[in-house]
């Protein structure tokens, strides 16, 4: 990802201005598409924005969607820091859902909630990390390209889950591939449950305590990447594997650690969806969150704070998009998917398109500032 001669820009341009410009570019193209299908883009924007902020229900939904994207965004970011592109977040989260389900099916008749939920989370994390470790091993020790293997593992996970959901876990008499419902002890409390317990009235939404785990993960990732020896090793390998070897760091071990953590983070989706909301295993519960994570990590510049902001933005896009397709049926919900693609295009693939002219613009203003001081 290097190779272009770059002007050093101040941090606020790199982490603040550029992502906003990318977002505006994506919005402009999306607005053009909306215009092509005969809808006023400004009206569409207004409906979307109102659809997000209108009441506590819409805000709760936004945060519920954002929770998934924090997990997958962090997963992509940690791998990015090691110079790895983990496209497999989708499959890792999916398999994590299997881990959570198996743990709940095994123990929900015997254990109380305060033991069940940690066990479910640990099982999910082990499964998700395990699913990431195979491509990691193949990359580190067999030299297979991790992009290809993680893509393949997404498809293998999908087939495996269809098989397990329809042939093994499906309760008798049930038509849809799924598992049986967990016992209520295995439900992660909803935020509105907690609020009611505290005496605050809140409408019932899928938002659950996974959001706290997401916050913990953010802090953990920040400490791990920037404040520990392993994080240093990860960043060193990401910047220059050769230099890292001279420093006595083993890139192979770093690949294993980074991917293990990446898979573990993606597993948070299983906590939010399976333990927190659906309470049984179902097909396709990840619903593209693994891919949204790529857009979130790119926009959030691989930093937990940026990722939280980008995740909330995407949560808002999902919630606003749902509202928009409800109000204007000509605009399909998949407009949000197209937006994601555009954001990945502008902030990832075309990242070097904007930088030169912004750098030129910045230098122009900067020189003026210098001149003004001189006179």
Which residues in this chain contact another protein in the complex, by CB under 8 A?
A: 1, 3-4, 33, 36-38, 85, 87, 138, 142-145, 147-149, 151-153, 155-156, 159-160, 162-163, 167, 291, 294-295, 298, 330-332, 334-342, 344-345, 348-353
The answer to whether the beta carbons of residues 264 and 129 sit under 8 Å apart is yes
Of residues 63 and 84, the one with the C-beta less far from another protein: 84
Of residues 121 and 136, the one with the C-beta less far from another protein: 136
| Least distance from another protein to the Cβ atom of residue 336, Å | 7
CB proximity list for 282: less than 8 A, separation 6 or greater: 165, 176, 177, 178
Q: What φ, ψ does residue 301 adopt, rounded to 5°?
A: 50, 35
Hey, what long-range contacts does 249-254 have (CB within 8 A, 24 or more apart)? 251/140, 252/140, 252/141, 253/140, 254/82, 254/230
SS3 136: helix
| Least distance from another protein to the Cβ atom of residue 6, Å | 11
The answer to whether the beta carbons of residues 177 and 170 sit under 8 Å apart is yes
SS3 169: coil
| Least distance from another protein to the Cβ atom of residue 366, Å | 24
| Least distance from another protein to the Cβ atom of residue 278, Å | 21
| Least distance from another protein to the Cβ atom of residue 123, Å | 22
| Least distance from another protein to the Cβ atom of residue 121, Å | 27
| Gap between the Cα atoms of 44 and 210, Å rounded | 31
| Gap between the Cα atoms of 154 and 92, Å rounded | 8
The answer to whether the beta carbons of residues 256 and 129 sit under 8 Å apart is no
Cα 209 off chain centre by: 17
The pair of structure tokens assigned to 338 is 């197209």
| Gap between the Cα atoms of 360 and 9, Å rounded | 10
Bridge partners of residue 65, in order along the sequence = none
Of residues 186 and 256, the one with the C-beta less far from another protein: 256
User: H or E segment at 46?
Assistant: helix 41-53
| Least distance from another protein to the Cβ atom of residue 57, Å | 26
Of residues 333 and 368, the one with the C-beta less far from another protein: 333
| Least distance from another protein to the Cβ atom of residue 312, Å | 20
Of residues 45 and 337, the one with the C-beta less far from another protein: 337
Of residues 19 and 120, the one with the C-beta less far from another protein: 19
Query: Of 74, 29, 49, which Cα lies nearest the Cα of 343?
Result: 29
| Least distance from another protein to the Cβ atom of residue 39, Å | 8
| Least distance from another protein to the Cβ atom of residue 169, Å | 14
What is the DSSP code (8-state) at residue 239? Answer: H
The answer to whether the beta carbons of residues 38 and 48 sit under 8 Å apart is no
Taken as a whole, the chain contains a residue count of: 375
Q: What secondary structure does DSSP assign to 90-139, as a single string?
A: HHHHHHHHHHHHHHHHHHTTTS-HHHHHHHHHHHHHHHHHHHHHHHHHHH
CB proximity list for 118: less than 8 A, separation 6 or greater: none
């Amino acid at each position: 990802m290097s190779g272009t001669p770059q002007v050093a820009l101040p941090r606020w341009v790199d982490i603040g201005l550029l992502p906003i410009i990318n977002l505006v570019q994506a919005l402009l193209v999306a607005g053009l598409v909306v215009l092509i299908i005969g809808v006023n883009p400004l009206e569409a924007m207004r409906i979307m924005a109102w659809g997000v902020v209108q009441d506590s229900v819409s805000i709760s939904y936004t945060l519920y969607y954002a929770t998934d994207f924090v997990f997958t965004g962090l997963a992509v970011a940690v791998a990015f820091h090691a110079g790895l592109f983990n496209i497999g977040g989708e499959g890792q989260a999916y398999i994590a859902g299997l881990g959570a389900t198996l743990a709940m099916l095994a123990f929900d008749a015997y254990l109380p909630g305060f033991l069940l939920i940690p066990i479910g989370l640990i099982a999910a994390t082990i499964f998700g990390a395990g699913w990431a470790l195979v491509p990691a091993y193949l990359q580190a020790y067999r030299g297979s390209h991790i992009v290809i293997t993680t893509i393949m593992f997404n498809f293998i996970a999908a087939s495996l889950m269809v098989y397990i959901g329809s042939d093994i876990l499906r309760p008798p008499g049930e038509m849809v591939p799924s598992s049986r419902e967990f016992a209520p002890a295995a439900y992660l409390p909803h935020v509105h449950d907690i609020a009611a317990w505290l005496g605050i009235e809140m409408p019932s939404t899928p938002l659950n305590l996974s959001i706290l785990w997401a916050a913990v993960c953010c802090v953990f990732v920040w400490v791990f990447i920037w404040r520990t020896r392993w994080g240093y090793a990860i960043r060193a390998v990401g910047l220059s594997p050769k230099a890292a070897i001279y420093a006595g760091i083993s890139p192979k071990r770093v690949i294993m650690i980074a991917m293990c953590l990446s898979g573990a983070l993606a597993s948070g989706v299983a906590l939010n969806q399976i333990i927190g909301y659906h309470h049984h295993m179902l097909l396709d519960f990840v619903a593209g969150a693994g891919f949204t994570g790529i857009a979130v990590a790119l926009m959030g510049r691989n930093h937990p704070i940026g990722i939280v902001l980008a995740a909330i933005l995407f949560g808002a896009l999902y919630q606003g998009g749902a509202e928009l397709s409800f109000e204007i049926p000509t605009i399909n919900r998949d407009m949000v998917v197209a937006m994601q693609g555009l954001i990945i295009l502008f902030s990832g693939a075309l990242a070097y398109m904007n930088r030169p002219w912004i750098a030129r613009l910045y230098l122009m203003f900067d020189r003026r500032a210098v001149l003004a001081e001189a006179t």
